[in-house]
């Protein structure tokens, strides 16, 4: 049995992949459990108490989600996650506004849920502009303005990148899209609950949320759809008329309740949690970067998610580095393809070609002891791999499969 497998069977690794998914907060689970058993009604059942209780719980969750992002409850549409929300937004807008225009603008570092959705629309006849980003991963506003034409109906730009953690200039993007009369879909799966977001102040028209990024359950999310000025889109699913006719199907009441509680906790604890995570992140960065040469920070040094640290390491192979860290659960910034490790589309977009990158995703339950342990193990692993490479410069290493989180959408 491989060493990595033996180690994980004996003791779980330190979890540092909170950008891929988070554990459900016990407080979230506690409010969900009754809706699997005692309060199991269908919120569409309007003739008895079981249905009324379920509907009341859904509407309370809708208000909790809205409060976190500065919306009103009627602007929240529940979905199965951010991927569905993104597809509903982009494809729904394209279908409704096809007589007005057929041009979309996005960026090279968007999540695959946005990029693949835009490419599907492109394959169906839409025009698509994919903007480059600077070396920090931010879109240049002048390039965005130049890309918008009379045929542009929507811009799809994320709030914060899932891989390198860079936060976009959100207020400026909102002001620009509003002045040009185009819709802005903001993929906020990584940002919501981690940085302050106010859709009204920022000028966001459509915003995607996923519960499992903020200590809620998997399989549930939401789409914010602005009411004033009203954003019009057509549904992807028909039948039943749920969610104001925009998302048919019986609602996932326990999941929605969990999403609502996760948003409520995030709203109350955001500032303190962000400060805690920034402190832990800086300890981790300094412990690694001041001990090892050839370490580079990817993403914006300041405008980044509190719990995101993305580092590239010179002189080591990315797949081998992950294999050398069996006690750490984290993601690589590279994906292994056809026997060769290549940087992800995000790293390529910012000009990062280092063969080894690690994404550390710190979260609510990460401790200082875990950070100290992780830093020591990374330093030791990099030193060992570099030493081996120096001793055997011609040795060919077979890279192992090591993928980066595509939020899958899990966006």
Alpha-carbon distance of 137 to 168, in angstroms, equals 8
Query: Are 200 and 226 within 8 A, CB to CB?
Result: no
Q: Across the chain, which distance is largest between two alpha carbons, in Å?
A: 76
Order of strands, edge to edge, in the sheet holding 183-187? 76-79, 221-225, 206-210, 183-187, 152-156, 103-107, 127-131
**CA atoms of 88 and 99, how far apart (whole Å):** 18
Q: Which of 189, 213, 186 is nearest to 199 (CA)?
A: 186
Q: Is 286 helix (H, G, I), strand (E, B) or coil?
A: helix
The strand pair at 152-156 and 183-187 is best described as: parallel
Number of H helices, E strands in the chain: 12, 15
Q: How far is CA 222 from CA 80, 84, 334, in A?
A: 8, 9, 29
336 is catalytic: yes
The 8 Å CB, 24+ separation contacts for 3-6 are 3/326, 4/323, 4/326
Q: How crowded is residue 374: how many other Cβ atoms within 10 Å of its Cβ?
A: 25
Instruction: List beta partners, residue 331.
Output: 359
Place of tokens 């039943």: 240
Q: How many whole angstroms separate alpha carbon 297 and alpha carbon 389?
A: 23
The tokens describing 237, both together, are 């699913």
Peptide bond into 229 cis (omega under 30): yes
Q: Judge if the upstream peptide bond of residue 307 is cis by omega within 30 degrees of 0.
A: no
Is residue 183 within 8 A of residue 155, CB to CB? The reply is yes
**Nearest alpha carbon to residue 323 among 264, 217, 271, 399:** 399
Neighbours of 127 (CB within 10 A): 14
Q: Catalogue the active-site residues.
A: 336
């Amino acid at each position: 049995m491989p060493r990595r497998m033996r180690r994980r069977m004996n003791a779980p690794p330190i979890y540092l992949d909170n950008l891929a998914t988070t554990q459900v907060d016990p407080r979230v689970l506690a409010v969900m459990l009754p809706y699997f058993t005692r309060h199991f009604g269908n919120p569409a059942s309007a003739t008895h108490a079981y249905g009324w209780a379920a509907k009341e719980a859904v509407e309370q969750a809708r208000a909790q989600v809205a409060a976190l992002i500065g919306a009103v409850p009627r602007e929240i549409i529940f979905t199965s996650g951010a991927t569905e929300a993104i597809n509903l937004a982009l494809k729904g807008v394209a279908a409704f506004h096809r007589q007005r225009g057929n041009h979309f603008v996005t960026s090279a570092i968007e999540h695959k849920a946005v990029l693949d959705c835009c490419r599907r629309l492109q394959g169906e006849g839409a025009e698509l502009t994919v903007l480059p980003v600077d070396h920090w991963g931010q879109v240049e506003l002048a390039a965005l303005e130049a890309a918008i034409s009379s045929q542009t109906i929507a811009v799809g730009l994320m709030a914060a990148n899932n891989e390198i953690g860079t936060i976009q200039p959100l207020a400026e993007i909102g002001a620009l899209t509003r002045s040009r009369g185009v819709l802005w879909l903001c993929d906020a799966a990584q940002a919501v609950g981690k940085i302050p977001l106010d859709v009204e102040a920022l000028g966001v028209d459509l915003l995607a949320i996923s519960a499992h990024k903020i200590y809620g359950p998997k399989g549930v999310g939401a789409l914010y759809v602005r009411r004033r000025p009203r954003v019009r889109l057509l549904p992807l699913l028909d039948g039943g008329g749920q969610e104001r006719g925009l998302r048919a199907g019986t609602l996932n009441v326990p999941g929605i309740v969990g999403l609502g509680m996760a948003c409520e906790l995030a709203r109350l604890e955001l500032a303190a949690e962000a400060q805690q995570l920034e402190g832990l992140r800086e300890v981790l960065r300094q412990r690694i970067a001041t001990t090892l040469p050839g370490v580079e920070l990817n993403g914006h040094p300041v405008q980044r998610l509190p719990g995101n640290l993305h580092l590239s390491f010179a002189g080591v192979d990315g797949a081998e580095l992950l294999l050398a860290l069996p006690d750490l659960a984290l993601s690589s910034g590279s994906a292994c393809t056809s026997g060769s490790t290549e940087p992800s589309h995000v790293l390529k977009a910012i000009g990062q070609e280092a063969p080894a990158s690690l994404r550390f995703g710190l979260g609510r339950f990460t401790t200082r002891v875990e950070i100290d342990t992780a830093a020591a193990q990374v330093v030791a692993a990099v030193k060992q791999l570099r030493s081996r490479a120096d001793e055997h410069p011609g040795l060919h290493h077979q890279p192992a499969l090591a993928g980066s989180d595509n939020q899958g959408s899990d966006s």
